[in-house]
Copies of this chain bind each other. A is one copy, B any other.
């Protein structure tokens, strides 16, 4: 264990990288996928089960937690880790993105955003300073700078103005964060799909100086091809010796493409949300467990998977409990999906370390091209 936050980059294979982020709460093996624990729980999972899938770090949502149960309450109760019974690292977002997608009656000024809660209509204000305070009260190990993120497509002026506002907010976030050994503050690059704006944003962030750098403003409607096109240059603009985090990504092939382009960290609700709606990810693609083809199928989702859903249950059972609206359906499929995402990450870490990422990637795509096993 360490009392400092640091990043050791071990091996690169093409643009893909593997290493370890050290934090006082434990190591994060990169590339890392972070399950999302929105309201102080990864939906349908107990924390021990999340850890058993191989997750080294969780993401918590500042917006949700500030509204309910509130950051001050979590602080009084000893912080988010103890509150939700998760003693490994936690990264929290800044609240900015979710205010824009979830809150009502938003008003944006140079200072920050005023809005009404989607839970109870109460009035709130978020600014760089308030976001830093909330994330400190939560006890987050990796704090995200407060930013603004326009949906794509958007015109260049809107993206440019927004990015420059986010860079001014990044400087205020850095100042408000203060000196907190063992904790990290990450800056967030913006600039949409405009290469020069991405460069300007990266330079502004590097001038301020952060413990890590996120690529923000992607996975917001631009599509995979455009996202990869942007990552092809955006990642290179960020420091080599610091973790690079692609926010809100993604589907398995998004994740693999991002790692290929030099991303070290990602998060997404997809594995847990899909698990609750009857979608399972396997190396052969997506299984929709609600389909009648599974109702008599004694085989597991994936013969080669050693998660509890695959070692203990048939597709017929998973189909039955989904149709019967039983909670165990979401519990098992979420576990499977989170397990599968972590398996991908572990396989990529191993392949990068061995210098065989290209071969691994070819195998990954070949499995998906093969498609799900045939019905019996």
Contacts and interface: CB of A to CB of B under 8 A. Distances in A.
B40 A317 contact: yes
Interface string A285-309: 0000000000110100000000010
A331 B47 CA distance: 12
A324 to B, nearest CB: 5
Contacts of A83: 314, 316-317, 320
Given A298-B78, A331-B46, A84 B317 contact: yes
Interface stretch (A69-77, A121-129, A144-152, A364-372): A69-77
Interface residues of A, number: 38
Contact of A77 (B44, B298, B331): B298
A327 interface: yes
A68 interface: yes
B316 A73 contact: yes
A363 to B, nearest CB: 31
A44 B332 CA distance: 11
A68 B331 contact: no
A216 interface: no
Interface string A30-50: 000000000111011111100
Interface in A75-100: 76-78, 83-85
A73 B326 contact: no
A328 B298 contact: no
Contacts of A328: 41, 43-46
17 contacts: A39-B320, A39-B321, A39-B326, A41-B328, A44-B327, A44-B328, A48-B308, A69-B316, A73-B296, A73-B316, A76-B296, A77-B298, A78-B298, A84-B317, A85-B317, A327-B327, A327-B331
Interface of A: 39-41, 43-48, 68-69, 73, 76-78, 83-85, 295-296, 298, 308, 312-314, 316-317, 319-321, 323-324, 326-328, 330-332
